[in-house]
Copies of this chain bind each other. A is one copy, B any other.
């Protein structure tokens, strides 16, 4: 009798076990993976959703804002994203000292496209809400573009954005 109960229990628990494991369930055809705000640029970072939200956090936390414009189907954006997400120094600095936002659509603020709208491009904004058009990458024709090989430059630009802020205080 006890054996019988145990067997039933075992089946039940096995069933609930299989149902409870997210990594082993094969998603239904219609099941979608919830979209994340990080979009792969750093799942462990706290991302702002909108420019308005990012500006609010930048002012209230007194941290510079880093805005990344990119596109899911742009190979340059994808390559930069990979380098950005894998760079521990950049991820740590972004997490500690920046408000971060990644966008696949342009905002209505033209200050965020000083030399036009293209992807990928990265702009810094001061907590005073001034776009730091002076912090640029190494391409004369696309001042705010970065490539995967430019991670050191990007890191030093992030430090510049921070330094500027601190000297102003």
**Segment from A34-42, A119-127, A141-149 that makes contact with B:** A34-42
Contacts of A107 in B (CB 8 A): 50, 52
Contacts of A34 in B (CB 8 A): 36-38, 43-44
**Segment from A6-14, A131-139, A153-161 that makes contact with B:** A6-14
Bound: A51/B51 CA distance, A: 10
> What is the interface size of chain A, counting residues whose CB is below 8 A from a CB of the partner?
38
Bound: A153/B51 CA distance, A: 32
Q: Which residues of A contact B (CB under 8 A)?
A: 2-3, 6-7, 9-10, 13-14, 16-17, 20-22, 24, 30-32, 34-38, 43-44, 46-47, 49-53, 56, 103-108
